[in-house]
Amino acid sequence: MPLEDAIDTPEAIAGPIDLRAEFAAAGIEEMLAELDRELIGLAPVKTRIREIASLLLIERIRRKMGLSGALPTLHMCFTGNPGTGKTTVALRMAGILHRLGLLRRGHLVSVTRDDLVGQYIGHTAPKTKEILKKAMGGVLFIDEAYYLYRPENERDYGQEAIEILLQVMESQRDDLVVILAGYGERMDRFFDSNPGFRSRIAHHIDFPDYGDDELLALAELMLQGQNYRFKPEARDAFVRYIARRKAQPRFANARSIRNALDRVRLRHANRLVSDPDRLLSAEDVVSIEASDILASRVFA
């Protein structure tokens, strides 16, 4: 379906437009509020998402008024370290674009190089085209996109996948949004080597690392979603855990916090069942104690 038809058939509209009502009708405020609840911090990311949503809403209104203009390019690049919410934001972006009528399905297909690039001649094209077929009408999210291009390997087939992607990003831009993701510096080098991608990417959004206070708030939000909570001493212990874990290699922001809480729950459960004669209260089964955190190898 052409994007122009998906938005609305242009027609002259007289009188003022109630922007708040238009935003509410599209359900955008609800989705942005949900994003605020789900993601701690990331203020510049949320600002850019609101800007994009606002642009697309105005485009929708303009076409209702019969005002013609070029439809905006929506392909994007998300840069940042692991665990900063790039996949979550891509999923929400797919929903926003669907609500605004810019995507007919609004689903997210998340892939890496292995899903697109084959191992032998003739293998890459059908793999890439199959993924694109699944993604049509929604968002194709390519994580660590720079791995598609490996100039040091003359027998690498990534360039074939790139050429197919570039062609579809241009010819099917009314039915597919592609989001490339990865580390900032590596994505810059990737764009330098593949200017076709740079020219097709309209929105570059950088995802900052979380601060210590944001990571603590994120941990408490995750626990709340699982019906757990920190006791005061445990909260203090987790503050210390965050500081130590961030100083270690391979720290992945929210992902590392989620993994840490999974291990905390294991120790919490083991502590409770270690005394089978104990009568458990509701407080016991929902409360994380300091010992559940301080047993981590981070404190060794």
CATH code (residue 287): 1.10.8.60
Cβ of 135: how many Cβ atoms within 10 Å? Answer: 25
- Output the furthest CA–CA distance in the chain (Å, rounded): 76
Which residues have CB under 8 Å from 66's CB, separation 6+? 10, 11, 12, 13
Contact (CB, 8 A) for 179 and 139: yes
pLDDT score of 15: 64
How far is it, in rounded angstroms, from Cα 185 to Cα 111?
Answer: 20
Q: Where among 145, 178, 207 does a domain terminate?
A: 207
Same domain, 154 and 17: yes
Q: Is the pLDDT reported for residue 39 higher than 50?
A: yes
Fill in the DSSP letter of residue 147: G
DSSP of 57-85:
HHHHHHHHTT---PPPP--EEEEE-TTSS
Q: Is the pLDDT reported for residue 2 higher than 80?
A: no
Which residues have CB under 8 Å from 261's CB, separation 6+? 219, 222, 223, 226
Distance of CA 298 to the CA centre of its chain: 28
Same domain, 158 and 131: yes
Q: Is the pLDDT reported for residue 179 higher than 80?
A: yes
Residue 247, domain extent: 212-299
CATH code (residue 72): 3.40.50.300
Percent with pLDDT over 90 in the chain: 64
Same domain, 58 and 202: yes
Q: Is the pLDDT reported for residue 228 higher than 60?
A: yes
Contact (CB, 8 A) for 103 and 45: no
- Residue 239: phi and psi, rounded to 5, are -60, -45
Domains in the chain, number: 2
Same domain, 86 and 218: no
Same domain, 199 and 250: no
Q: Is the pLDDT reported for residue 4 higher than 70?
A: no
Q: Where among 207, 224, 249 does a domain terminate?
A: 207
3-class secondary-structure state, position 178: strand
Q: Is the pLDDT reported for residue 219 higher than 50?
A: yes
Q: Where among 183, 207, 231 does a domain terminate?
A: 207
Q: Nearest Cα to 86, choosing from 131, 33, 141?
A: 141
Which region among 6-10, 22-26, 67-71, 254-258 has the lowest average model confidence (pLDDT)? Answer: 6-10
How far is it, in rounded angstroms, from Cα 133 to Cα 164?
Answer: 12
Q: What is the pLDDT of residues 271-295, one digit of tens each?
A: 999 988 889 999 999 999 999 999 9
Same domain, 144 and 50: yes
When pLDDT is averaged across residues 177-195 and rounded to a whole number, the result is 94
Q: Is the pLDDT reported for residue 5 higher than 50?
A: no
Which region among 21-25, 85-89, 168-172 has the lowest average model confidence (pLDDT)? Answer: 21-25
Fill in the DSSP letter of residue 133: H
Q: What is the mean pLDDT of the chain?
A: 89
